Amino acid sequence: MIDHEHEQLVRELKGTLDRVLRERRPDGPWDTASRALKLCAQDTAEGLDGAASLVGGLSARDIGLLLATYTLRFHLVNKAEQLTIARINRERECRATPKHPRGESIAEAVHTLARAGLSRDEVMKVIAGLDVQPTLTAHPTEARRRTVLRKQQVLAELITRSQDDRATPLERDEVTERLEGMILAMMATDDVRAERLRVHEEVRNGLFFLAGSIWDTIPVLYRDIRLALREAFGPEGPGQETAPSLGLRYRSWIGGDRDGNPRVTPDVTRSTLETMRAEAVRKHGESLWVLRQHLSLSDRRVDVMPELRESIERDLVAFPDLVDTDTLHHLTHEPFRVKLHFMLGRLASITSDTPCYDTDLFIEDLDLLDRALRFAGLDQIADGYELSALRARACTFGLHLAALDVRQHSERHGQAIDEMLRLAGVEDGYNGLDEQRRITVLTHELRQPRPLLPVDIALGEVTQDAIDVFRVVREAFQRDRRSAGSVIVSMTHQVSDLLETLVLLKEAGLYRVDHSGAVESDVDLVPLFETIDDLERAPELLRELFADEAYRAQLGARGRLQEIMLGYSDSNKDGGYLMANWSLHRAQQRVAEVCREHEIDFRFFHGRGGTVGRGGGRANRAIQATPPGARSPRLRMTEQGEVISFRYALPAIARRHLEQILSALLVVNGERSHTPDDAPRQLESSTVELMDRLASVSMSRYRELVERDGFWDWYRAATPIEHISGLPIASRPVSRAGGVVGLTNLRAIPWVFAWTQVRANTPGWFGLGTALASEIDGGHLATLQGLYERWPFMQALIRNAELELVRTRPRLLSRYSALAPGCEHIESILTEEFERTRVAVMQVTGNKQLLADRPVILKTVADRNPAADVLNLLQIELMKRVRDGQIEQLGGEDSAKRLIYLSINGIAAAMQSTG
């Protein structure tokens, strides 16, 4: 990614920032900042000491100025990196040829499958079978405000214009002036929100990307598919389809994720659905108006397909309220525009109480226009951007933008069922029953056509809330079946957790059984396995679930498809890095085997975060590392917080992210379809035994840390976790039960966030070194090296940990540890394990330096360190003053809090990562 042009751009941006600051804020501590930066750049303990001394003498005002300055500095650098990625990909695309396509592109995937012997029809079948559903969540990992994101978007446009060699001197001056003005505006804009986000604001944040860069990117991916097929197999023959629909659709949890968030009420969920529906209508309406202007085709000049005329006649009869006599009079000989007139009118009805359109009908009308154009001999217009882009977006976004999932904790559903059964006189004390008795009671109720409760019965808050949200989902389904997503059950521990949810769905009308026992169900039910124990027990739990009569009926009603969600965050928090990764890998293989045993199709839903400790990393490499037996054309994954901001900041970056996922899935599933394997390859027993030993040793080492006396005292004092708990970056509380007392109630996101802030990145490597060293000392180094060379899972495991190790700064960790006197033994454990892991990883990779084979990343990290170190020293100074009671010297409690929040935002920008 780094090249001369990028380095020059970064220098220019930093120079512009420095010039603006010295001219407009000459009273700032810029000389002190420059000296501190140079000292940190020495990358020595002495240099850090000197920089810390300089920082220690700053006033609260100057600390605030430096925090704002360095945060903006990293925003500029981050934007430059994104633009460089986009530029280099564009340059690679220009150099690509049909025989040598750009790496990790859709064209390369299609070319690879063609070389492997797949025909055009076979490749088309693989494409048509894809089912990719990125899922936006509102998890609190985006520290930036939406207004800052918008300013950064403008900044990207200005930077791009500044690089245009064709610009005139006047245009260059204008861009420079606007760029300086934008920097000033960003300096004058609060990075930290005044109060915690409300859910409807999180919904708008999601729309910012869904209706922005993602909306712009989808037609490009469809075009990529068409061009790749033509380059690999030549032009389509007569009657051949240009390209199949790409199975890419978006989901959202924003406004539907209720787990631990009391602010997501049924009314909020209803409002979210309405907001997304209105935005989809607005965006499609804009595109239809453009198409209406474009398709000014006269029946006196082209042949009109009878089917188009018949469709217009039906519209005239069915929708008389949409007839505008004057408009139709002016369009007498323009049937395409007449059809679009009715489409616009029907589209507008979507947001009313009496909609007369849905996604399927909308796509049918777009397909009709496509066929009519081809009938008229206007294939080039049919293939043109306006209509093809509309259809691509209709297939992806429908008339709902993103299907809304509902998620809730299993305990909440259990509480509701306990009350419902008691009020119905079925069972008093349900929660006290053993598991088998619970299943018997629930299965009996699921056989009954009648509802469990009278409509007008008074219910407790938990029960009423649980039923009401599913009634909202039912309303959405009746409007447009694509707008309702899945129901996800957090902390699924046993079969009854899912049967309880089915009873609630039945009460809301989403699960129906008639007197003959036939079942209809409108939504998929998804267990979420999050802890190490749950991942271990998941295969047996699913085996029991698939044997249950009521749940078999649910599967039959849903096309025998089971979605299974895997939690990467809580499993890591529970068992540490290596154990979590191995448990997730094994769970996928074993769960897939159970599904195949019962002839059930499956889709894994990967609950990944942005950091390595929460399953982050390159999505395409994760796909390639999937166990062979668990591979599928179906894929869901969460896109969270700062990950959304980075992956979807620009259309070019969004395209790169999505094409890498689609490319990997095409190759993996294309090769699998071409060489079917009835018995997916199993790992050798010796490899499984080795990995089991490694995971067990690693988890023991990890639990030894988090259960060590004094650890939580150290963690609360040495990291900014308590300040993170108050950071107003999302509507959801950071703790499930209030307070920070241990692993159980602290959510995984703030857990990882705090480690990232102190530059320790512990969830991304701790325990790995002890585990590897135990096998290396036992004479198994060659075995580990062999696995690393040939096994994608081991490569991903080691390479991700290697990156986190390089980003770790032990010298800074020592300074944070000084904030927790009496807990020095915790720092010793961390630094010892860091060194052990660093050495062991290099032994396995065979390199003499971490990231030796990835020099670009190594240089990027090194270039960021000095300025990031200054931010850390500023944060440590603030935490020290707060600890020592120097609140008034920081301007009072509110000012102290704001300054620490600024430091958190700044370090998040420097690390391009939060949780």
Q: What is the mean predicted confidence (pLDDT) over 883-887?
A: 89
Sign of CA dihedral 892, 896, 899, 901: negative
Residue (of 363, 410, 354, 404) closest to 387 by Cα position = 363
Which bin fits 79, alpha (ψ -120 to 50), beta or left (φ > 0)?
A: alpha
Q: Which pLDDT value is given to residue 315?
A: 92
| pLDDT tens digits for range 121-165 | 999 999 999 999 999 987 544 545 667 777 878 888 888 888 878
Give strand ranges (E) for 591-682.
601-607, 634-640
Q: How confident is the model at residue 200 (pLDDT cuts 50, 70, 90)?
A: confident
669, 632 contact by CB (below 8 A):
yes
Q: Which pLDDT value is given to residue 141?
A: 46
Q: What's the distance, CA 324 to chain centroid?
A: 45
Dist CA 405 CA 402 (whole Å): 9
Q: 332 is written with which tokens? A: 């007498």
Q: Which pLDDT value is given to residue 125?
A: 93
Dist CA 901 CA 663 (whole Å): 40
Q: Which pLDDT value is given to residue 185?
A: 83
| pLDDT tens digits for range 255-287 | 999 987 889 999 999 999 999 999 999 999 999
Q: Which pLDDT value is given to residue 555?
A: 96
Q: How confident is the model at residue 412 (pLDDT cuts 50, 70, 90)?
A: very high
Residue (of 672, 644, 670, 669) closest to 658 by Cα position = 644
On the CB side of 506, CA atoms within 13 Å amount to: 28
Dist CA 254 CA 357 (whole Å): 25
Res 402 pLDDT > 90 = yes
Q: Which pLDDT value is given to residue 146?
A: 66
Out of 277-281, 458-462, 658-662, 672-676, pick the least confident. 672-676
| pLDDT tens digits for range 768-816 | 999 999 999 999 999 999 999 999 999 999 999 999 999 999 999 999 9
Res 434 pLDDT > 70 = yes
Q: How confident is the model at residue 678 (pLDDT cuts 50, 70, 90)?
A: very low
Q: What is the mean predicted confidence (pLDDT) over 171-189?
A: 84
Question: Phi and psi of 853, rounded to 5°?
Answer: -90, 5
Q: What is the DSSP letter of 245?
A: P
Q: What percent of the chain has pLDDT over 70?
A: 93
| pLDDT tens digits for range 491-540 | 999 999 999 999 999 999 999 999 888 999 999 999 999 889 999 999 99
Res 673 pLDDT > 70 = no
Dist CA 667 CA 649 (whole Å): 27
More confident residue, 746 or 465: 465
Res 244 pLDDT > 90 = no
**Residues with a known catalytic role:** 139, 573
Q: Please, which residues have CB within 8 angstroms of residue 19's CB and are 6 or more apart in sequence? A: 180
Dist CA 602 CA 622 (whole Å): 18
DSSP string, 860-890: HHHHHHHHHHHHHHHHHHHHHHHHTT-TGGG
Residue (of 587, 563, 572) closest to 636 by Cα position = 563
| pLDDT tens digits for range 58-108 | 999 999 999 999 998 998 898 888 888 888 999 999 999 988 999 999 999
Res 915 pLDDT > 50 = no
Pairing of strands 561-567, 601-607: parallel
Res 184 pLDDT > 90 = no
Amino acid sitting at position 193: R
Q: Which pLDDT value is given to residue 236?
A: 76
Residue 251's DSSP bridge partners are: 135, 403
Q: Which pLDDT value is given to residue 148?
A: 73
| pLDDT tens digits for range 709-760 | 999 999 999 999 988 876 655 444 544 555 445 667 777 778 888 999 999 9
Angle, CA of 130, 136 and 140, to the nearest 5°? 150
Res 382 pLDDT > 70 = yes
More confident residue, 469 or 675: 469
Q: 34 is written with which tokens? A: 């420059």
Q: What is the mean predicted confidence (pLDDT) over 825-834?
A: 96
Dist CA 689 CA 769 (whole Å): 18
- Render the burial of 367-393: b for 16+ CB within 10 Å, e for the rest: ebbbebbebbebeebbeeebbbbbbbb
Q: Which pLDDT value is given to residue 215?
A: 96
Q: What is the DSSP letter of 563?
A: E
Dist CA 153 CA 176 (whole Å): 16
Dist CA 199 CA 95 (whole Å): 45
Q: What is the DSSP letter of 350?
A: G
Sign of CA dihedral 596, 598, 602, 607: negative
Res 600 pLDDT > 50 = yes
| pLDDT tens digits for range 611-633 | 665 666 677 778 888 888 888 89
Q: 76 is written with which tokens? A: 């500029």
What pTM, to 2 d.p., does this model score? 0.90
Q: 906 is written with which tokens? A: 């700044």
183, 374 contact by CB (below 8 A):
no
Q: 779 is written with which tokens? A: 């004479």
- Render the burial of 537-555: b for 16+ CB within 10 Å, e for the rest: bbbebbbebbebebbbbbb
